[in-house]
Amino acid sequence: MLYPVWSRTAPRKNAKRKRKLSAFAPYNRGSQTLLVLAARTSVKHGVWYKVRLPFRPNASTGWVPGEALKVSSTPWRVKVDTGQRRAWVFRNGRRTRSFRVVVGRSAFPTPTGRFAISEVVKQRSAGGFFGPYIITLSAHSERLNFFDGGRGRVALHGTNRPSLLGSAASHGCVRFGNGAINYIGRRVPPGTPVDVVS
């Protein structure tokens, strides 16, 4: 985002307002990065983009004017399968890596859907609970409104308990081995689509 802007129900300035988008992502105040789902251009209203909104409910979408965005593409994709408890990283449609992961326990399931990486935040202590990176998503927990001082934002992150890989033991985040999250954190940028399936 280049500046704060209201998302709207349709691709025009007189459409009903939905939610106001900040120019900054909430976790580490990096640039707000959104997943573009569609584009619309007209002589009367200009260029508009339909984006995945970083708010509840998780499938929320809205239209924002093109002048408020800097649009770019990425060759990267991430897929997480909560049933298999595995994640895959793709570049240009080709799988580059496969990893065992920890997903949400039954009381706090990892939400499913198409999301986007919001921020890639390197941690000061690579051996801490979150490992070397926290990679926040546009997704939110469907059970926890608040967690660890935040608004229940779901993330991909490392772990200091690698023995749990392949299990369902988190509060909804997806935990990777530290080598795996290093691979992702060093390569995969904000805005990358992340598909979570069950």
Which CATH number fits the domain that encloses residue 147?
Answer: 2.40.440.10
Residue type, 86: R
Residue 197 structure tokens = 């399936």
- For the chain, the domain total comes to 2
Asked whether residue 160 falls in the same domain as residue 82, the answer is: yes
Range of the structural domain that residue 81 is part of: 76-197
Confidence (pTM): 0.92
Asked whether residue 90 falls in the same domain as residue 56, the answer is: no
- Using CB atoms within 10 Å of the CB of residue 61, give its burial: 0 to 12 exposed, 13 to 18 middle, 19+ buried: middle
Q: State how far the alpha carbon of 167 is from the alpha carbons of 129, 139, 140, 146, in Å.
A: 16, 21, 20, 23
Domain limit, last residue, from 46, 68, 90: 68
Asked whether residue 52 falls in the same domain as residue 124, the answer is: no
Separation between Cα atoms, residue 189 and residue 186, nearest integer Å: 8
- pLDDT digit string (tens) for 116-132? 999 999 999 888 999 99
Asked whether residue 164 falls in the same domain as residue 124, the answer is: yes
- pLDDT digit string (tens) for 153-177? 899 999 999 999 999 999 999 999 9
Residue type, 156: L
Residue 117 structure tokens = 């990486």
Domain limit, last residue, from 28, 51, 68: 68
- What pLDDT, on the 0 to 100 scale, is given for residue 148? 61
Separation between Cα atoms, residue 99 and residue 105, nearest integer Å: 18
Domain limit, last residue, from 36, 68, 100: 68
Mean local confidence (pLDDT), 10-30: 92
- What pLDDT, on the 0 to 100 scale, is given for residue 125? 87
Separation between Cα atoms, residue 149 and residue 117, nearest integer Å: 20
Asked whether residue 82 falls in the same domain as residue 175, the answer is: yes
Q: Tell me which of 25-29, 57-61, 170-174, 183-187 is least confident.
A: 25-29
Strands 193-197 and 76-81: parallel
Q: Is the model's pLDDT at 133 over the cut of 80? A: yes
Asked whether residue 142 falls in the same domain as residue 54, the answer is: no
Give the other-Cβ count within 10 Å of 166's Cβ.
Answer: 15
Asked whether residue 110 falls in the same domain as residue 191, the answer is: yes
Q: Is the model's pLDDT at 109 over the cut of 80? A: yes
Q: Is the model's pLDDT at 194 over the cut of 60? A: yes
